[in-house]
Amino acid sequence: PGFPRFAVVHLTGVPDTGKSLVAEQFALAQAQRGEKVLFVTVELPGPFLVQSVRERAKSLGVPWEQVTENILLADAAKHAELRDDVLALSSLVESVVRRHKVRHVVIDSITGLYEGKEMTARSIVRKLYHTVKSLYQTALFISQKRSSHEETSAEAAGGYAVPHIVDCTIVLSKFVVTTKQASSAYGKAIGDVVRTLRIDGCRVCGHDTRTYLAEIDEKGIFSLKGPLFQEGGGT
């Protein structure tokens, strides 16, 4: 299991569903394999992202000195010229990828690139998509879902422009257990949060169509716990 090589994977969900955790864990996993990762941070300032990734590495038992040279940071949160000009950002991505022989690109989040101008979402995402595809990168694009959107749909901020352009879309969602029936079905107490992951579609390879239970532990590690519903109707 994993992301298809050279695919652009779109990860979307409402806040606090684990999107950035998945991005950080993906970057660490590739860096530990000795492959270069370019991490473009659009919302969280660079120093705080480094601190977060370092904590994630510690929680995963990954020696920081083993991965730090393989994770390259582009701070679009600090530099407005990167955040507001997709051509400048694309040029930077291309330059860094070629110069440092990068294999993977993470952008967290693409929503921050068209905040307040969502009519331009399609052109911005398409430009970045073509940039990373032309460089044969395996890329992870994070996007935010608005609270008005259906929790489990693939629609992100900017509408369906994002999932229509990228190769794969993964939807993270969460809900609070509020009834005894749900408590019994999910094995959770009333008031607990149930997190799920679903692959909405992938045009470059086959994929599991089931919805999976997900968990974020006390150390901030995102993991999957198995299908939401097992064969036979149980959870």
Query: Among residues 225, 206, 224, which one has the least CA distance to residue 4?
Result: 206
176: left (phi over 0), alpha (psi -120 to 50) or beta: beta
- pLDDT for residue 30 is more than 90: yes
Q: How crowded is residue 153: how many other Cβ atoms within 10 Å of its Cβ?
A: 15
- pLDDT for residue 160 is more than 70: no
Q: Is 63 helix (H, G, I), strand (E, B) or coil?
A: coil
pLDDT in tens, 129-151: 999 999 999 999 999 876 545 55
Write the CA distances from 96 to 13, 99, 195, integer angstroms: 29, 5, 35
Q: Give the model's pLDDT for residue 150.
A: 58
pLDDT in tens, 206-218: 999 999 999 999 9
Length of the chain in terms of residues written: 235
pLDDT in tens, 94-121: 999 999 999 999 999 999 999 888 788 8
* CA-CA-CA-CA torsion sign (102, 105, 106, 107): positive
Spatial distance between the Cα atoms of 131 and 120, rounded to a whole number of angstroms? 17
Delineate the domains of the chain, giving CATH numbers in brackets: 8-169 (3.40.50.300)
Q: Is this prediction's pTM over 0.85?
A: yes
pLDDT in tens, 37-78: 999 999 999 999 999 999 999 999 999 999 999 999 999 999
